[in-house]
Structure 1
Amino acid sequence: MNAGRAAAIDRRRVGWWLVAAVVAGIVGLFVFSFVGTFVLGLFVYYGARPVNRRIQRWIDSRGLAATVTLLFIVVPTLALLGYAGFVALRELTATLDSGTVTLLLNHLPGDQQTLADVVQNFPQFVRQLGEISQFQQALGTLAGVLGAVTTGLLHLTLALAFAFFLYRDGHRLQAWYRETVGGRDTAAYAFLAGIDADLEVVYFGNVLTVLAVTLGSMAIYNGYNFLAPGPVSLPFPTLLAILTGLSTFVPLVVGKLVYVPATAYLALRAVQADGSLLVYPVGFLVVVFLLLDILPQSIVRPYISGQTMHEGAVLFAYILGTALFGWYGLFLGPLLLVVVVQFANFVLEDLLWGRPFSAAPTDTTNLGTDPTEMKATTADAATDEGPAPSDDSADGHESGGERENASEGDRGV
């Protein structure tokens, strides 16, 4: 009887494992289909989590704190996109000849007479526009740009929503993991705690470095244009400053992707205009090399990021991740590097030698954050007091807000 009951239980357990595999496959399909969106959401989450912690100290609601945090990201992002779109529109109009521009302007519905003419002769007007090759090319380009912008805004919205729910409900997910998988004395918890800490170090450090380089580039590029004569002036200095800041994501390479071609362009303009003007491109190169390359690499990034990862490994993670996965590889590459490093720290040696798994890191590598050295863990006291209340305000302050802020703030990240 007991043997039959045990066999029935085993069959039910096998059936539930099959259901679990199907559920995992469904979740994996969604993650794989939108992997770029999820990785971008993780970047937004970790890149602004220290800001969110400080906001939670002043705002008595996790949801409101998450909203305020994301506003610091959305508004600047939309401003940058708006500026880039303005520059692209200006470049597009510059490629059209005067006849095309005049024809388009003359047929804009600015008054009733023009509107009546367009309505009465609409087929002829469409044929005239269709015969202009520049307009056809511009229309196709505009359609492609609009499609790309729409897709980008969709991914950005989903990523921001993902980050919002992590800010608001991440402590619930963490509590579930501790209760279901293991507490802080288990290797599984230490492994994910190390990943969590290192992702914040890498992503938040990069955000601050990019912000510092972008602001510095704006000051230097616009200051150069103020001092340099017209023939060797820098085109679109603010846009180039934004691109210089974004290129800082790649360690060692940093702003060279932008300021080296810009210097070559200025040198060519100087040679074509007057050889004596070469002093301006040379001076520009020296200043940007010292302030936008040496300074971020030697002082800003090490001070912010804490040197928890090998710079060469991070460099290959950025470059190979982008080359292999595309745009989202810029964020996925460092994530995979952190996972590999922490796996080597907490699992690999015990797995190879058949030893019991523990929360203590092995001697495999000295890279990455050691969560056993943290002064406190996140919200263990909240677990001891029972489940958090459902009210957002009370949940964000009484049940986990202050204790989580204090414990996470002691990580030294």
Structure 2
Amino acid sequence: MSAGLASAIERRRIGWWLVAAALACVVGLFLFSFVGTFVLGLFVYYGARPVNRRIQRRVDSRGVAATVTLLFIVLPTLTLLGYASFVALRELTATLDSQTVTLLLNRLPGDQQSLAGVFRDFPQFVQQLGQASQFQQVLQTLAGVLGAATTGLLHLTLALALAFFLYRDGHRLQGWYRETVGGRDTAAYSYLAGVDTDLEVVYFGNVLTVLAVTLGSMVVYNGYNLLAPPPVTLPFPTLLAVLTGMATFVPLVVGKLVYVPATAYLAWRAVQADGSLLVYPAGFLVVVFLLLDVLPQSVVRPYISGQTMHEGAVLFAYILGTALFGWYGLFLGPLLLVVVVQFANVVLEDLVWGRPFSPEPTDATGLGTDPTERKADTVDGAPDGGATPSDDAAGERTGEESEN
């Protein structure tokens, strides 16, 4: 009798495992279809999480802190970067051929052909607005642009919604994970704690440095053009500023990829016009080197967060991720790097040698954060300005309440 009961229980367990596998496939298909939105939401979450924690300590409400973070920190930042990118794209289309512009736009979401048509010849597009014979063509182009903008706004809205709920309800997710998957002294918890901390280091540290360099470059480049005589002015200063900021992703080399060729161009223009004008490129190089290279690398980046990943690994994660996956590869590449590194740190050695899984990391790679030092940081905590002991206790109580 007991054997039959055990067999029935086992069959039911197998059935539930099949249901779990089916649900996992559905969720996996959903995430695969919206992987760009998902990783963009994680980028927004980790990129502003330290700021969110500081706001939360002042307002003592997770919901209000999440709203303030998105409305007054994230959205203005994205708007400013979006405007700078728009101006840079307009400057870029004025210098490159239409085939190259279309190739670049194909890496963006939405109806790129319509966008390419508008940016490729923007003045002619404006003139067509007043010609009745071409009104239908203008409407079709506007419809394509509107569709592309709607797609982009949909991605952005869903990403911001994901970040909002992670800010507000992340402690509940942490409590569920701790109670269901593994407590603080398990390899599962240690693994997620390391991934969580390293994602914040990579996203918040590198991306915020890029933001600072981009804004600083816009001020420096446009300010230089106000002071320099016409023969030695920078062409397309906003475009160069955006490129300088993006080049900061590259470890060690950083903005030199942009401002060194720009300085060489200015020196060539000075020699062609008047040798005495060489003082302007020389001054430009000194100012840019100090403000956009030395200052971000020696002061800004270390102040924001310490680096735990190998610079070469991060470099390949950004470049190869973008080349392989497109626009969202900029965020997915570092995420995959962190997931793999922490797996090698916490799980791989015990898995290979058949030992009991331990939360202690190995010395196999020497990369990533030591998760045993950040066990309170899994989903909603951080050592600097993050979870306090009271926050931790609140997380424990949340887990107990959900269990009851």
TM-score range normalised by the length of the shorter chain:
0.7 to 0.9
Q: Which residue is equivalent to 2:108? A: none
Say how many residue pairs are matched.
364
C-alpha distance 52-223 of structure 1, shift in aligned 2 (>3 A)? same
Q: Following the alignment from structure 1 to structure 2, what is the Cα–Cα distance between the partners of residues 274 and 145?
A: 46
- 2:280 alignment partner in structure 1: 280
**Change in 2 beyond 3 A, CA 1:4/1:23:** same
Cα distance per residue 1:238-261 (max 9 Å; x no partner): 453244223323323432444345
Measure how far apart 1:101 and its partner are. Answer: 6.5
* Residue deviations 1:47-81 (CA, integer Å, cap 9, x gap): 10010101111113211110110121112322332
Match of 1:311 in 2: 311
Deviation (angstroms), 1:15: 0.7
Per-residue CA distance 1:142-201 (angstroms, 9 max, x = gap): 665544333222211111111001001111111000000110000000000011111111
Alpha-carbon spacing, 1:94–1:175, altered in 2? closer, same or farther (3 Å):
closer
Residue deviations 1:105-136 (CA, integer Å, cap 9, x gap): 5x6xxxxxxxxxxxxxxxxx326x68xxxxx7
Q: Does 1:211 align with 2:218?
A: no
How far off its partner does 1:304 sit?
Answer: 2.8
Equivalents in 1 of 2:126, 2:172: separation in Å?
A: 58
Partner of residue 234, structure 2: 234
1:116-135 to structure 2, matched below 5 A, reads 125-126=132-133
CA gap 1:354/1:303 in 2 versus in 1, 3 angstroms: same
With over 3 angstroms needed to count, the CA separation of the structure-2 counterparts of 1:272 and 1:104, relative to structure 1, is farther
* 1:382 counterpart = 2:382: no
Partner of 1:12: 12
Deviation digits for residues 330-366 of structure 1, max 9, x if unmatched? 1111111111111111111111111111111112122
- The CA deviation at 1:274 is 4.3
Report the equivalent of 1:73.
Answer: 74
- Are residue 51 (structure 1) and residue 44 (structure 2) matched? no
- Give, in angstroms, the shift of residue 381 of structure 1: 2.3
Q: Tell me what 1:160 maps to.
A: 160
Pairs within 5 Å for 1:14-413: 14-71=14-71, 72-82=73-83, 84-85=85-86, 104=129, 125-126=132-133, 145-263=145-263, 265-267=265-267, 269-270=269-270, 273-274=273-274, 276-374=276-374, 376=376, 380-382=392-394, 384-385=396-397
Distance 1:177 1:205, change over 3 A: same
Distance 2:348 2:123 in 1: 64
**Structure 2: distance between partners of 1:372 and 1:258:** 40
Change (3 A) 1:384 1:283: closer
Partners of 2:340 and 2:331 lie apart in 1 by: 15
Stretches of structure 1 lacking an aligned partner (at least 5 in a row): 108-124, 131-135, 391-413
Task: Kindly indicate whether the alpha-carbon contact (under 8 Å) linking 2:172 and 2:399 is maintained by their aligned counterparts in 1.
Answer: no
**In the alignment, is the contact (CA less than 8 A) between 2:255 and 2:293 conserved in 1?**
yes
Native 8 Å contact 1:345 1:362 kept in 2: yes
Q: If the length of structure 2 is used for normalisation, what is the TM-score?
A: 0.79
Aligned identity (percent) is 76
**Contact (CA 8 Å) 1:217, 1:241: kept in 2 or not?**
yes
Matched residue type, 1:18: L
* Secondary structure at 2:58 match in 1: coil
Q: How far, CA to CA, are the matches of 1:241 and 1:167 in structure 2?
A: 32
Cα pair 1:382 1:388 within 8 Å, conserved: no
Give how far 1:329 is off: 1.2
Q: Distance in 1 between matches of 2:174 and 2:186?
A: 14
* Residue pair 1:240, 1:258 contacting (<8 A) in 2 also: yes
Could you list the runs of 5+ residues in structure 2 that have no partner in the other structure? 95-117, 382-390
Q: Shift of the alpha carbon at 1:10?
A: 0.9
Q: CA deviation at 1:282?
A: 4.3
> Which amino acid in 2 is paired with 1:80?
L
RMSD value, Cα = 3.1
Q: Does the C-alpha gap of structure 1 residues 141 and 383 become closer, same or farther in structure 2, counting only changes over 3 Å?
A: closer
Measure, in 2, the Cα distance between the counterparts of 1:209 and 1:244.
11
Amino acid at match of 2:393: A
Aligned-partner Cα distance in 1 for 2:140–2:260: 32
Matched residue type, 2:52: N
Change (3 A) 1:334 1:86: closer
Q: Which amino acid aligns with 1:240?
A: L
Give the partner amino acid of 1:192.
Answer: L
Q: What is the alpha-carbon distance in structure 1 between the residues aligned to residue 215 and residue 126 of structure 2?
A: 36
Q: Deviations over 1:27-56 (max 9, x none)?
A: 101110111111111011011001010111
2:104: which partner in 1? none
Q: TM-score normalized by structure 1?
A: 0.78
1:187-224 Cα offsets, whole Å, 9 max, x none, are 00000001111111111112331232123213321221
